[in-house]
Structure 1
Amino acid sequence: MQKSITSFFKKKSDAGDSPSPPKKVPKIEAKAELPDEPIIKSEDGSPTIKAKVEPMSVDSGENTSPLKGVKKEQDSEGKTTDRKVTSIGLNSTSASKEDMENYDPSADSYNPLKNAYWKDKKVTPYLALARTFQVIEETKGRLKMIDTLSNFFSSVMLVSPEDLVPSVYLSINQLAPAYEGLELGVAETTLMKAICKATGRNLAHIKSQTHLIGDLGIVAEQSRVSQRMMFQPAPLNVRDVFRKLREIAKISGQSKMDLVYNMFVACRSSEARFFIRSLIGKLRIGIAEQSLLTALAIGLVKKNHIDDCKASKVQEVYKDEIVETTLLLKTAYSQCPNYDVIIPAILKYDIKELQERCPMHPGMPLRPMLAQPTKGVHEVFERFGGMQITCEWKYDGERAQIHLNEKGEISIFSRNSENNTAKYPDLIARSSGLLKGEVKSYIIDSEIVAWDVERKQILPFQVLSTRKRKNVDIEEIKVQVCVYIFDLLYINGTALVTKNLSERRKLLLEHFQEVEGEWKFATALDTNDIDEVQQFLEESIKGNCEGLMVKTLDEEATYEIAKRSRNWLKLKKDYISNVGDSLDLVVIGGYKGKGRRTGTYGGFLLACYDTENEEYQSICKIGTGFTDEDLQTHSEFLGKHVTPSAKSYYRYDSSLEPDHWFEPVQVWEVKCADLSLSPIHRAAIGIVDGERGISLRFPRFIRIRDDKNSENATDANQVAHMYQSQDQVKNNQKSCTQMDMEDEFY
């Protein structure tokens, strides 16, 4: 993390010799008609859209009646009717229209107070947030995107701090912490109907434009901005938009439709685009959670040093403070992933008190600790030489963090912090049998596996994946499960993550007990004998497990929240001899099939995730490992997530251009023969080689990883590590080193 934050400022400094000119934000006079009206230049050189104002009619672009205020419209059966249209127009606000339309949080001279045109009202306009999203969407560099968002956040902190929580949630398109599972669930057709009702356009036109453009948000904005208005509702503000979106998420039926319509009618300019995108669940601005946390930290430092007018100056002078603030904020968020708790704390207390003010507690999932891959027992002992280690069977199931709070409520969370409590009512029903002694609260880390009750053995993951996910009736459960517990993170009000594994394990055995076929401790062996580890690996395979997890017991043995730590190593049974692990990769593109595969995608473009730059880097094209049924399933699913062009955060060579680009919504497990340097793929570029990335040779599809989101995919540093761990690469490096030594000698 330290490296990532420091590199932010290095790149920022490197770019300082040739700053990009400030972005010109289009001025919109009254209401614009797009795209018919010509664009002209204003005195300052910025584009101005010439408006045509006709306050007593609504011109939708088709089927307009000559009668003012009357709209010819077709219903679902094709019948034409006249509908009276209520015309809406601009009203005046305390801020000038020019201030609103020209708000630019990306300006190099941005001042959090002076540029916050809403400072008199102390309520953040939704238009200011929408403008920020618009600028970010049009920005190529991630550092500049973060900088832009930090400027907006710093203004909100100073002028309208109550709006910071909703601003943050809206920036990552969430309505609550991820574990609460609050989702909007508005169908695209419902949104289209709301747009039709508000703008007078017909449904067929909206559908055709959406198909053509590929973005209902853009279609909504164009439809809204071309509408003639006379009276307009009060301007939207961030607080109310967030509250209304939460209402929309909690209701159904006609009431949901009415709320969407009422909000959309009040949208102006780019507000329409991002309001509709929020409802769809695809904001499309490229801000992931780590970028948001960085922007929030930088915004906090800017707010604390408001006397330094230029935001860029703050970043140069207070670089070390920003690095420290970012680290503290991300660390606190790892143990308390809830902005409703975090943000009030950073506004009220010193950042150094954040971890104390936002402690971990049951009911709030932690980001799990993850393991590094290794491909042989010898590599394990190279890493852990001289340390006391333990080996645990690696179970082929679903990672589960199980919580009990002091009210006696059980919660079960996935590795992505998704709330799976409703999926496992059987575990909750038998949870009391797990306890030994007085236990009022706990957080345990475990793996849930499918269990054969008759044979008393573990079943493959594929069996577990058939288990129903929602509205599970305990009487109808067909796939039984057993929980294998391997760590204790919290007990009776005390967090244990800073204690060594040997201490955590001792407390686990003191307070919990096994129940045959229901609750088990992970099968473990404490040893420093290489032959015993090899034999234990073979036993794990016979026990229907994937292999071993090897962990330190006393040295460097704390629980590292949200980290892929080298203090945990995984050793799987079926690694291909030359590669240390399978990879979890994101599908970003599809190639149309030919021959037998006509009508489906025949191949796909996959990418790893670079956590430092928050971008997806191409790593291979894949077309093997699929059944015909797989291809049909993938084509149907991914066909719903086609995007008209590559995302700004996709890194690839133009020669790899697929027929269709996809949103980064699905992760696949993939195996390969080996990894090699590539002149066209961009995975881990700059880590191993300055100009070449890494690609997979002979990749094949294994399965969909439903338990992982795209940001949990194999990252660039892991790819680089896997490449460098290959025997042929190691041998080549040794040969080069030997030659260098000989050259030096002679």
Structure 2
Amino acid sequence: MSSSRPSAFDALMSNARASSAAKKKKKNTPPPQASTSSPSPIKRKTQDPDSAKVEAFSDSAKKSKSLTTQTDDELKSKVVLLKRKPGDFDPERVSWWEKGERVPFLFVALAFDLVSGESGRIVITDILCNMLRTVIATTPDDLVATVYLAANEIAPAHEGVELGIGEGSIVKTISEAFGRTEAHVKNLNTELGDLGLVAKGSRSSQTMMFKPEPLTVVKVFNTFRQIAKESGKDSTEKKKDGMKALLVAATDCEPLYLTRLLQAKLRLGFSNQTVLAALGQAAVYNEEHSKPPKNTKSPLEEAAKIVKQVFTVLPVYDIIIPALLTGGVWNLPKTCNFTLGVPIGPMLAKPTKGVGEILNKFQDTVFTCEYKYDGERAQVHCMEDGTFEIYSRNAERNTGKYPDVALALSRLKKPSVKSFILDCEVVAFDREKKKILPFQILSTRARKNVNVNDIKVGVCIFAFDMLYLNGQQLIQENLDIRREKLYGSFEEDPGYFQFTTALASSDIDEIQKFLDASVDIGCEGLIIKTLNSDATYEPAKRSNNWLKLKKDYMDSIGDSVDLVPIAAFHGRGKRTG
């Protein structure tokens, strides 16, 4: 706001007060005798222009306030319909914007408010499903942004795009946007335990001169992405300006959810799995492309399952949602495939407590035992052009953290290997002593922009699975075939690259000795896997076909620790105590 505006506004209000005093004086003065000549219309029109402006603004503000209150009540009564069972829901009765118009952010915020009052998974899924159905029915182009906000994300995890906003910056933004002191905002945050509630309360108690232009879902989402891109000089101020612009324009419950989204803490009791289920169900109701496959007992459950499964191999809403809208949910597994360069969810193992339990579960099944190394899970993608991308278990991009891993793999892959996806464990390793080091040593390495010449903690790659090789997907192949591809694609170099130590046996004594040996060299225990029956790779699933036997899980083995509590956290807000 320029420095001239306050003085102009003060002058305007001063004239208004003078005009008001003159009117009161005139009211108490006897009316003058009527003039024989008519008053000049020009004089009547131009008389006291500042007073006319203030009166016009006052009348406009009253009408605007009345209209806003009435409209908000009507909108809330509309949005409540989202709680209906999807079979009884009509999107046209909820939407207050025209088809093709941008979806108001208030619609999503009010839907979140409905969810906040529920605890049942089915009801929450129904609300989200109906919310997404409304977006599809009115403005399908806004569906990607809506789903990202519902999932509390701004980009796929592997892209590493983050808002990078601390609580202190949000406190400053709230204080500036709503005319509060930082100390006041901090005190309220301490009392309420939720900056979102602080923002909502600050907005509701703030007098607004002008009604801001309504926020849209796309406006909020694009602003978030722009905030995430800010870097370098003055980036903190630019981020704050972006947040402030949103909060100043926010009304009703929008400040609450804007603030929580900025904190990446939506606090609504559902995960992205619920969002995926709701997306699949919404697609069924809006399906125009094809009917469910024959013998589909529950189309809603099957559609939710399809969307979740596709997301494990291609976790990118920007690709999945357009494919869903154009090709339909039933064709989604065909239109969205496993893609080199995009990490899939790693297969996980279920815990078990002893060798006997393993033999019982894998009775009459061929299985293999592998050392479970104490390192960091890594999914390594080698592109056709020879470049590498390395992702963590949570799909975080770790390429800059492990340049030595890329160098080792490029050196040790065979000439016939042009592209691959390797599942492995990166473990801290002392090459002089030929010894595996604890995970705590590995955690001391820098996380970003590591220079190979500055590396002090060496690592060894222990490879155990191959998911993709030279353009061929392998996740549908059994482990014995995937392992054969793995062994034929690399040369081992002790201390740099090794295949996991494995044992194929069903003898309880042999397996016990193998477990003891793994613990002795610094491993966590064993991973036991089916080899050639029901042995496909199941992304993002904790499967019964993989079992883990860690020393910590066993009844006969375990470490004891002596601890003295020195501090405790009492909690915030409703979590206090």
TM-score, with length taken from structure 1 = 0.64
- Given the alignment, which residue of 481, 487, 493 partners 2:459? 481
- Given the alignment, which residue of 240, 248, 253 partners 1:270? 253
Counterpart of 1:125 in structure 2 is 104
1:100 aligns with 2:83: no
- Given the alignment, which residue of 297, 302, 322 partners 1:324? 302
Q: Is the 8 A contact 2:83 2:126 kept in 1?
A: no
Q: Is the 8 A contact 2:99 2:139 kept in 1?
A: no
Please report how far the alpha carbon of residue 141 of structure 1 lies from its aligned counterpart in structure 2 after TM superposition. Answer: 2.0
Structure 1 residues 626 and 265 mapped into 2: Cα distance closer, same or farther (>3 Å)? farther
- Given the alignment, which residue of 263, 267, 277 partners 1:284? 267
Query: How many Å separate the matches in 1 of 2:211 and 2:73?
Result: 18
Q: Is the 8 A contact 1:155 1:303 kept in 2?
A: no
Counterpart of 1:297 in structure 2 is 280
Q: Is the 8 A contact 1:224 1:272 kept in 2?
A: yes
Tell me which protein shows more helix as a share of its residues. 2
1:437 aligns with 2:437: no
Counterpart of 2:36 in structure 1 is none
Matched residue SS, 2:503: strand
Counterpart of 1:562 in structure 2 is 540
Please report how far the alpha carbon of residue 528 of structure 1 lies from its aligned counterpart in structure 2 after TM superposition. Answer: 3.3
1:219 aligns with 2:198: yes
Query: How many Å separate the matches in 1 of 2:75 and 2:13?
Result: 31
Query: How many Å separate the matches in 1 of 2:549 and 2:252?
Result: 55
Q: Following superposition of structure 1 onto structure 2, how do residues 141-540 of structure 1 map, counting pairs within 5 Å?
A: 141-251=120-230, 252-304=235-287, 320-540=298-518
Query: How many Å separate the matches in 2 of 1:555 and 1:458?
Result: 32
Query: How many Å separate the matches in 2 of 1:574 and 1:280?
Result: 35
Q: Is the 8 A contact 1:124 1:239 kept in 2?
A: yes
Q: Is the 8 A contact 1:105 1:132 kept in 2?
A: no
Q: Is the 8 A contact 1:181 1:418 kept in 2?
A: yes
Query: How many Å separate the matches in 2 of 1:380 and 1:461?
Result: 26
Q: Following superposition of structure 1 onto structure 2, how do residues 642-721 of structure 1 map, counting pairs within 5 Å?
A: 642-646=571-575, 660=577
Please report how far the alpha carbon of residue 137 of structure 1 lies from its aligned counterpart in structure 2 after TM superposition. Answer: 0.9
Q: Is the 8 A contact 2:379 2:421 kept in 1?
A: yes
Q: Judge which range, 373-382 or 508-517, deviates more.
A: 373-382
Query: How many Å separate the matches in 1 of 2:401 and 2:283?
Result: 39
Q: Is the 8 A contact 2:383 2:418 kept in 1?
A: yes
Matched residue SS, 1:381: helix
Q: Judge which range, 222-231 or 121-130, deviates more.
A: 222-231
Please report how far the alpha carbon of residue 247 of structure 1 lies from its aligned counterpart in structure 2 after TM superposition. Answer: 0.5
Tell me which protein shows more strand as a share of its residues. 1
Q: Is the 8 A contact 1:185 1:279 kept in 2?
A: no
Structure 1 residues 213 and 523 mapped into 2: Cα distance closer, same or farther (>3 Å)? same
Matched residue SS, 2:423: strand
Structure 1 residues 107 and 570 mapped into 2: Cα distance closer, same or farther (>3 Å)? closer
**Counterpart residue type for residue 273 of structure 1:** L
Query: How many Å separate the matches in 2 of 1:439 and 1:407?
Result: 12
Q: 1:479-503 CA distances to partner (integer Å, 9 max, x unpaired)? A: 1110100000111111101101111
Higher Rg of the two aligned structures: 2
Matched residue SS, 2:286: helix
Query: How many Å separate the matches in 2 of 1:482 and 1:68?
Result: 74
**Counterpart residue type for residue 644 of structure 1:** G
Matched residue SS, 1:184: coil
Matched residue SS, 2:384: coil
**Counterpart residue type for residue 518 of structure 2:** S
Query: How many Å separate the matches in 2 of 1:262 and 1:174?
Result: 20
Q: Is the 8 A contact 1:371 1:568 kept in 2?
A: yes
Structure 1 residues 529 and 474 mapped into 2: Cα distance closer, same or farther (>3 Å)? same
Q: Following superposition of structure 1 onto structure 2, how do residues 45-84 of structure 1 map, counting pairs within 5 Å?
A: none
Query: How many Å separate the matches in 2 of 1:574 and 1:253?
Result: 45
Counterpart of 1:571 in structure 2 is 549
Structure 1 residues 68 and 367 mapped into 2: Cα distance closer, same or farther (>3 Å)? farther
Please report how far the alpha carbon of residue 627 of structure 1 lies from its aligned counterpart in structure 2 after TM superposition. Answer: 4.2
Q: Is the 8 A contact 1:158 1:303 kept in 2?
A: yes
Query: How many Å separate the matches in 1 of 2:522 and 2:183?
Result: 55
Query: How many Å separate the matches in 2 of 1:359 and 1:121?
Result: 30
Structure 1 residues 515 and 111 mapped into 2: Cα distance closer, same or farther (>3 Å)? same
Task: Give the number of aligned pairs.
Answer: 509
Please report how far the alpha carbon of residue 376 of structure 1 lies from its aligned counterpart in structure 2 after TM superposition. Answer: 2.4
Matched residue SS, 1:379: helix
Bigger RCO of structures 1 and 2 (CA < 8 A, at least 6 apart): 2
For structure 1, which runs of at least 5 residues remain unmatched after alignment? 1-55, 58-64, 70-85, 306-317, 583-623, 647-658, 661-746
Query: How many Å separate the matches in 2 of 1:451 and 1:431?
Result: 16
Query: How many Å separate the matches in 2 of 1:176 and 1:491?
Result: 27
**Counterpart residue type for residue 304 of structure 1:** E
Q: Is the 8 A contact 1:157 1:164 kept in 2?
A: yes
Structure 1 residues 427 and 165 mapped into 2: Cα distance closer, same or farther (>3 Å)? same
Q: Judge which range, 325-334 or 101-110, deviates more.
A: 101-110
Matched residue SS, 1:411: strand
**Counterpart residue type for residue 546 of structure 2:** W
Please report how far the alpha carbon of residue 363 of structure 1 lies from its aligned counterpart in structure 2 after TM superposition. Answer: 1.7
Considering only aligned residues, what root-mean-square deviation do their CA atoms show, in Å?
2.9
**Counterpart residue type for residue 323 of structure 2:** A
Q: 1:462-486 CA distances to partner (integer Å, 9 max, x unpaired)? A: 2222222234333322211101000
Q: Is the 8 A contact 1:217 1:273 kept in 2?
A: yes
Query: How many Å separate the matches in 1 of 2:402 and 2:303?
Result: 39
Structure 1 residues 549 and 276 mapped into 2: Cα distance closer, same or farther (>3 Å)? same
For structure 2, which runs of at least 5 residues remain unmatched after alignment? 15-56, 289-295
Q: 1:308-342 CA distances to partner (integer Å, 9 max, x unpaired)? A: xxxxxxxxxx9711011111111111111111111
Please report how far the alpha carbon of residue 302 of structure 1 lies from its aligned counterpart in structure 2 after TM superposition. Answer: 2.5
Structure 1 residues 631 and 407 mapped into 2: Cα distance closer, same or farther (>3 Å)? farther
Q: Is the 8 A contact 2:287 2:328 kept in 1?
A: no
**Counterpart residue type for residue 645 of structure 1:** K
Structure 1 residues 320 and 450 mapped into 2: Cα distance closer, same or farther (>3 Å)? same
Please report how far the alpha carbon of residue 267 of structure 1 lies from its aligned counterpart in structure 2 after TM superposition. Answer: 0.8
Q: Following superposition of structure 1 onto structure 2, how do residues 35-46 of structure 1 map, counting pairs within 5 Å?
A: none
Q: 1:719-742 CA distances to partner (integer Å, 9 max, x unpaired)? A: xxxxxxxxxxxxxxxxxxxxxxxx
Matched residue SS, 1:443: strand
Q: Judge which range, 568-577 or 488-497, deviates more.
A: 568-577
**Counterpart residue type for residue 100 of structure 1:** L
Please report how far the alpha carbon of residue 625 of structure 1 lies from its aligned counterpart in structure 2 after TM superposition. Answer: 4.4
Structure 1 residues 131 and 486 mapped into 2: Cα distance closer, same or farther (>3 Å)? same
Matched residue SS, 1:566: strand
Q: Following superposition of structure 1 onto structure 2, how do residues 101-116 of structure 1 map, counting pairs within 5 Å?
A: 101-102=76-77, 103-108=79-84, 110-116=89-95
Query: How many Å separate the matches in 2 of 1:167 and 1:434?
Result: 45
